[in-house]
A and B are shown apart, each in its own frame.
Chain A
Amino acid sequence: MQWEVIIGLEVHTQLLTKSKIFSGASTAYGATPNSQACLVDLAFPGVLPVLNKTAVEMALKFGLAVHAEINPYSTFERKQYFYPDLPKGYQISQYQTPIVGKGYLDIELDNGQTKRVGITRAHLEEDAGKSLHDAIPHMSGIDLNRAGTPLLEIVSEPDLRSAEEAVAYLKTLHALVTYLGICDGNMQEGSFRCDANVSIRPVGQKEFGTRAEIKNVNSFRYVEKAINYEIERQKEVLESGGIIVQETRLYDASTNTTRSMRSKEAANDYRYFPDPDLLTLYVSESMMAAASQSMPELPWEKAARFQSDYQLSAYDAKVLTAERGLADYFETVVKLSQAAPKLVANWVMGDLAAFLNKNNLSIEASPISGERLAGLIARIQDNTISGKMAKTVFEAMCESNDTADHIIEARGLKQMTDSSALEKVIEEVMTANPQQLNDYRAGKDKLFAFFVGQVMKATKGQANPQQLNELLLAKLKSNN
């Protein structure tokens, strides 16, 4: 049977506030357990939550970026369940009326097509603490530092039709929230977490099939694998006459399987009701105006500008704008080197990216600053060194903190720019190789490379390749 895959994603993004959503405790990652859990986070009797203004502003920025309806009046509800890392016995969330309503996000697929994915809603809520099951034998340890960290839960429409589309959506969303500066996007630390709702239905059927929710996927690669595993599992169950149970499944990266975690509690078991400790949130026109004014250039806007301002291809522009830090780095190098943007793009996406990947470094942690790379590229642009020499200089730059100029000087890597000197070397090479010269002139074009090699050898690689090609061709063609 032909099946159609239906995927909707719920993404929890930790908002980059300094303090928690309802208390003045710090949200910094990696502190001593429980050192950042205050009385409000610990749910002591008599404490009251007070909403963080910056969390609201961040939600508004997201709403504007996805062209969403902003609800001027939104409410907070209690979502009730019992778990040790949830001290109050309920999570404060938004249910009836979220701050951000319907919007959309355009994603670009691998085949170059654009797909519009609906955003159902995005709401503010608090994160739970962390349970550590391995720290102490036979006990669970509870760290409440994360309890009360602001989250924006972004819910997509079930518009995605494959694991690849789901990943493309997540990457676009990831770039967006990091550009907006509302989330650091660190998936390892859990700042950007994804739950995937997956179901399948026979092609042509209108009703959705029963869905399973996959939790615990903390990288783009695992999202793809987990969804693909789940699709195959559901096909097998349905094709062998079984039924899919609505449940939560946990992805296990070590076995690349999903397993049942618990059957999904019916929505009303959470017994949502308005939190009497919190009043209606009102978003005034002045708050909306302030959010509009604080909007940065968005990834897709930047990509379009890179194509028009720097004459880059759509592909180059997309790669360079995937991360705000990378885009900023590229623009710094272009500005400082005054070189052709395409040359800069090739270096940033090529040698630099390879070096950073190999050493598992982010662009922000690059030991080669934009200024140093610009120093190197400027010397290629002004013909002091060839592209090949530049690779040698680049390698040396990776090993030290020296500038390109310093390395070029110290190693005597300067390119010959004097054309009469180069012509002289070419003539010497031609005289020294009469047989090859005759063969070339008799039609053996391949020997051109031989002469290039000989001249490069004679000049210790310092001939400008382009200049050499031009001069050599002229000399070989003329019969004097």
Chain B
Amino acid sequence: MSFDIPKVAYLARIAMSEEEIAAVKPKLENVMAMIDDLVKIDTTNVAPLASPLEQYQTLREDVVTETDQHVTYQKLAPKVAADLYLVPQVIE
């Protein structure tokens, strides 16, 4: 199974140099080789596994339990104005 490193790096928004790509290539190919072995197993009648735990989702009652802490949380943000978190302008 081939692995398009530049494409995956772009999807993850990771900037990688040619050298870095060359360095991780054999490591990732080792992982892919293992997956190549796994996909040989016939899973025709096997349902996809969502979780290895044989338990089901715990549900929460619909109650508001959180209070306004945005002043505290925003101390960690690089830029804040008018209660908004600021980021470089993004317009599509």
Contact call B69/A142, Cβ cutoff below 8 A: no
B60: chain A residues at CB < 8 Å are 19, 24, 50-53
Contact call B86/A142, Cβ cutoff below 8 A: yes
A267-294 CB contact bits vs B (8 Å, 1 = yes)? 0010100101011111000000000000
Q: Which residue of A lies closest to B89 (CB)?
A: A140
A462-B29 Cα distance, complex, nearest whole Å: 96
Q: Does A144 contact B (CB under 8 A)?
A: yes
Q: Which residue of A lies closest to B61 (CB)?
A: A53
Q: Does A42 contact B (CB under 8 A)?
A: yes
Query: Which residues 47-83 of B have a CB within 8 angstroms of A?
Result: 48-51, 53, 55-66, 68-70, 73-74, 79, 81-83
Q: Does B85 contact A (CB under 8 A)?
A: yes
Contact call B51/A274, Cβ cutoff below 8 A: yes
Contact call B65/A24, Cβ cutoff below 8 A: yes
A32-B71 Cα distance, complex, nearest whole Å: 11
Q: Which residue of B lies closest to A131 (CB)?
A: B90
Please tell me which stretch of A33-41, A164-172, A337-345, A356-364 contacts chain B, meaning at least 4 of its Cβ atoms lie within 8 angstroms of it: A33-41
A280: chain B residues at CB < 8 Å are 50-51, 56-57
- Chain A contact residues (Cβ within 8 angstroms of B): what range? 35 or more
A276: chain B residues at CB < 8 Å are 51
Q: Does B34 contact A (CB under 8 A)?
A: no
Contact call A24/B82, Cβ cutoff below 8 A: no
A19-B91 Cα distance, complex, nearest whole Å: 30
A39-68 CB contact bits vs B (8 Å, 1 = yes)? 100100000001111111000000000000
Interface of A is mostly: loop
B26-56 CB contact bits vs A (8 Å, 1 = yes)? 0000000000000000000000111101011
B19: chain A residues at CB < 8 Å are none
Interface of B is mostly: loop
A278-B70 Cα distance, complex, nearest whole Å: 26
A50-B65 Cα distance, complex, nearest whole Å: 13
- Contact among A50, A136, A138, A271 with B84 in the assembled complex (CB-CB below 8 Å): A136
- Chain B contact residues (Cβ within 8 angstroms of A): what range? 35 or more
Q: Which of B79, B88, B90 has the most CB of A within 10 A?
A: B90
Given A56-B59, A96-B48, A34 and B81 contact (CB-CB distance below 8 Å): no
- Contact among A17, A34, A53, A279 with B70 in the assembled complex (CB-CB below 8 Å): A34
B74: chain A residues at CB < 8 Å are 34
Contact call B63/A19, Cβ cutoff below 8 A: yes
Given A132-B84, A133-B89, A139 and B59 contact (CB-CB distance below 8 Å): no
A250: chain B residues at CB < 8 Å are 92
Q: Does B87 contact A (CB under 8 A)?
A: yes
A52-B69 Cα distance, complex, nearest whole Å: 21
Query: Which residues 5-44 of A have a CB within 8 angstroms of B?
Result: 17-19, 23-26, 32-39, 42
- Contact among A26, A143, A279 with B66 in the assembled complex (CB-CB below 8 Å): A26
Contact call B89/A139, Cβ cutoff below 8 A: yes
Q: Which residue of B lies closest to A215 (CB)?
A: B92
Q: List 26 A-B contacts (CB under 8 A).
A: A18-B64, A19-B62, A19-B66, A24-B60, A24-B65, A25-B66, A26-B64, A33-B83, A33-B84, A34-B84, A37-B70, A37-B73, A38-B66, A50-B59, A132-B84, A133-B89, A136-B82, A136-B84, A141-B82, A141-B86, A143-B83, A144-B85, A262-B92, A278-B57, A280-B51, A280-B57
Which residues from chain B sit less than 8 Å from chain A, CB to CB?
11, 13, 48-51, 53, 55-66, 68-70, 73-74, 79, 81-92
